[in-house]
Amino acid sequence: MSTWSAGYVSEVGYTYGVYPELNPLRLGLALLNGGTAVPEIRTACELGFGQGLGINVHAAASEIDWYGTDFNPSHAAFAQELARASGTPAHLFDQSFEQFCSRDDLPDFDFIGLHGIWSWVSESNRRIILDFISRKLKVGGVAFISYNTQPGWAPMVPLRDLISQYDQVMCSPGSNILKRVEQSVAFAERLLATNPKFSAANPQIAQRLTSMKAQPKSYLAHEYFNSEWKPMLFSEIAGHMETAKLGFAASADYLRQLPALNCSADQLALIKEIEDSTFRETVYDFIGNQQFRKDYWARGTRKLTTQERAQQLRRQRVVLTTPAKKVPTTIKTVAGDVTLHEAIYRPILDALADHRPKSIAELEQACGEVKFANLTEAVFILIGAGQVHAAQSNEVVARVRPRTDKLNARLCEFAIQNGDIGQLASPVTGGGIVVNRFQQLFLLARRRGISQPEQWPRFVHDVLTSQNERLLKNGEQFSAEEQLAELTRVATVFNEEFLPMYQGLGIA
């Protein structure tokens, strides 16, 4: 293993993710829901940006000045390539946290984010991160930190340590990391097949191992095979944040902010009895067996009056990011499926069905019979469920769109080789929108002047043929005729349901 990696997996690249919580525009409703003032974000930093897709999407689709580092030079090179393609003036480095955080040419930041990194770095790097946040986050600024947490990870800790030890002891030194991941997981599977008392005492372990096998091996390498891996209780994280003068501001998981959706009546009553916010969050984690947390921490907050909060809520703009007829009528929560009330949600979805941004004030006017409190909660839930996103002003959209157009053109070109990149940049939302490989190829066909929908299936068929790929059904390859027929069906759905949405979101 290379010494510069400090025990972190570097032999294989990280996945190409865009995490909406790292989009500062998401802060608005998350903080307003709790009555907290929302800071203006002009400068932002991401520590450990992975492949750099997310930081490039957020930089291209906003007017925020972004800085970031990832110690893996392959990641940084790809991130810089995307920045050049879009013309985005993002400042992207391949430095370690120690090198980057000690630079004397960095501005103070309104927003600092790190996704997952906290759980995978050494204690010395955590101290460096905390010192950096303490020095460089402005008063009133916000830090986003996501991390593996207890108690949800408790049963998996011994199994994770076992497969990590198998990798170190039993696998050939210097062999391919993906092969070692496969061998280590296979050994764990063999062990559980012998019915050890550990699995009998922890019956969910077998299911977790099955879920692991379904994940890409590159993801498993980064999630489970770093030398450092430490899930923490919320109270432990809160103690670390306090040393940097940060207090818990809000969960970035919108649905988690609504305990009534996630708790039984008895559990909800118990939580409401707890005055200490840190202990209350810790107990809430036990109720939901929380495995991963996504939190906003603020360096000083200001509570809004009821009138101020209502005014700022009404100014918030949102946009529907799912075809209206595909929005599910139920959402999944920790406590089970929750049915959306037709009388509240239907008027909202009808008002947003054109995929054009609307302020909550405009929705209030369009949904006259829906009470303001019910309206704001419904919008909040729709964002939490991923059906709706916060939206920027039309003026900002117009200014950033040339950059997102260029970035998306480059990303759609990558879709010729594979479907690893599953999101494109929306100048409307300031972040990423899920667009699968075939949809990206249809968009690429349009960019290349193939404007007739009936021609798109042939374009994609030819792309797949050039890559020696063929669609599968029940494990069997489609014939050329069957493939064209299936692509024609997919292109029809895209043209009728998804293309109008992508046009509204500034992607097409």
Question: pLDDT tens, 424-437?
Answer: 999 999 999 999 99
Average pLDDT over residues 45-60: 97
Of 117, 151, 152, residue with least CA distance to 133: 117
Residue carrying structure tokens 């916060």: 390
* N residues, the chain: 508
Task: Convert the pLDDT of each residue in 330-341 to its tens digit.
Answer: 998 888 888 999
pLDDT over 60 (residue 187): yes
Q: Report residue 9's pLDDT band, with 50, 70 and 90 as the boundaries.
A: low
| Helix (H) and strand (E) counts in the chain | 23, 16
Average pLDDT over residues 173-195: 88
Q: Report residue 413's pLDDT band, with 50, 70 and 90 as the boundaries.
A: very high
Q: Which fold has domain 3-151+230-298?
A: Rossmann fold (3.40.50)
Average pLDDT over residues 39-54: 96
Average pLDDT over residues 23-52: 96
Report whether 407 contacts 428 (CB < 8 A). no
Average pLDDT over residues 441-451: 96
Say how many C-beta atoms besides its own lie within 10 A of residue 505's C-beta: 26
Give the distance, in angstroms, between the CA of residue 209 and the centroid of all CA atoms in the same chain.
23
Task: Convert the pLDDT of each residue in 66-78 to its tens digit.
Answer: 999 999 999 999 9
Cβ neighbours of residue 171 under 8 Å, at least 6 residues apart? 179, 180, 183, 184
Average pLDDT over residues 19-32: 96
How many angstroms separate the CA atoms of 1 and 8, rounded? 9
pLDDT over 80 (residue 319): yes
Task: Convert the pLDDT of each residue in 253-312 to its tens digit.
Answer: 999 999 999 999 999 999 999 999 999 999 999 999 999 999 999 999 999 999 999 999
pLDDT for res 14? 66
Q: Report residue 317's pLDDT band, with 50, 70 and 90 as the boundaries.
A: very high
Report whether 229 contacts 146 (CB < 8 A). no
Average pLDDT over residues 128-136: 97
Percent of the chain with pLDDT over 90: 77
pLDDT over 70 (residue 59): yes
Q: Report residue 155's pLDDT band, with 50, 70 and 90 as the boundaries.
A: confident
pLDDT over 50 (residue 1): no
pLDDT for res 11? 52
How many angstroms separate the CA atoms of 372 and 386, rounded? 21
Torsion over CA of 282, 284, 288 and 290, rounded to 10 degrees?
A: -30
Q: Report residue 13's pLDDT band, with 50, 70 and 90 as the boundaries.
A: low
The rounded mean pLDDT for the chain is: 93
Return the half-sphere exposure (C-beta side, CA atoms, 13 A cut-off) of residue 208: 19
pLDDT for res 208? 86
Q: Report residue 229's pLDDT band, with 50, 70 and 90 as the boundaries.
A: confident
pLDDT over 70 (residue 7): no
pLDDT for res 230? 87
pLDDT for res 175? 83
Give 133 or 3, the one with higher predicted confidence.
Answer: 133
Classify residue 40 by burial, with Cβ atoms within 10 Å: 0-12, 13-18, 19+: exposed
pLDDT over 50 (residue 348): yes
How many angstroms separate the CA atoms of 77 and 98, rounded? 19
Average pLDDT over residues 494-506: 97
pLDDT for res 12? 52
How many angstroms separate the CA atoms of 248 and 250, rounded? 6
pLDDT for res 4? 46
Average pLDDT over residues 105-118: 96
